[in-house]
Structure 1
Amino acid sequence: MNKLINPQRAKDVYKQCFQENFERLHRYAFTLLQDNEEARDVVQLAFVKLWQKQEEINLEGAGRAYLYTTVQRECYNIFRSKKVRKNYASAVHATHAEEYTDDRLESRELSNRIQAAIDALPPKCREVFCKSRFEDKKYAEIAAELNISVKTVEVQMSKALKVMREQLGDLIPISIILIAYFK
């Protein structure tokens, strides 16, 4: 307790300080923060800190100045905290956007390479391959539709997969590409 006044007197002075200054401090904090609840919290925190430091601060003389200084500092701390959070959120958003863009570019590049490999197939081979992979047709269905033997379909598919493997082998195994891309 403040050595100049007794404990009961300190409580009375504190209570009077609270009643005289709370609304003014709240308005001050509100003008800085533009948020009623945050302003109220800041003022309450200032009064708590004042009570905790009552042995060091003369409540009657310096209490009001201490409260205004504390409110101002706490408001600035809130500004800094919001700025840090906003910068962090922006950085996280930018990172995710960059990763998403990178993933989309890689996906587009992969699609372009696969399409180029398909386009490089001989016409009949490409037709058999596309019917098998894009239209989900069985070899017998392709053979009947194109009026060729099932063995010819097998040979054309084998040829197509060999060309695809050669052109796309540096990426990932052709079986994974064909499963992931075409199914």
Structure 2
Amino acid sequence: MESIVQDIKNGNIECFKMIYQQYHTKLYFYVLKCTHSAYLSEETVQLSFILLWEKREKLSTNYDISVQLFRIAKSVMTDLLRKQQVRNRHTETLVRETPDWHMETDLTVKEELTRVYNSIEQLSPIRRNVFKLSRFEGLPHKEIAKQLSISPKTVENHIVRAIRQLKDSLLLLLPAIVAWLC
């Protein structure tokens, strides 16, 4: 128990890959059971392993790696669910307060979709390709990895980084959207 945690703390990538292979599916189904959402399960698992690696120096040798990984996943899942609830509340409020908003904003929605598409096109070629195969064509990570001759973990990292990059670039649009709504 301590040796695995210590190996990961020391940056042993092979040990990390072994833990990833051992717990990826278990973690996915644990989150799926809680959320009933494949999307949230996938996001939680990806972010959990990224956090495990990024915060590996803070791991405790007093606890088994599985306990720490599932604790990270529970925290990530809670954060994602909380964010989803906030989004849903804002959407419901918007729809309730402005029932005709969809008719008034057709042109604006098309413009925003164009901006989103342009943001996707600004991604690096490999990241853009991985993102489109995952999100537009719905291919699983293993299939994308096979098509592009890269590892599933690399696919996962590209998707996470693409989402972060898109969020950052689209957050720049948020003030314009808010100003338009007010």
User: Which structure carries more relative contact order (alpha carbon 8 Å, separation 6+)?
Assistant: 2
Q: Which has the larger radius of gyration?
A: 1
Q: Give the TM-score taking structure 2 as reference length.
A: 0.45
Q: Give the TM-score taking structure 1 as reference length.
A: 0.45
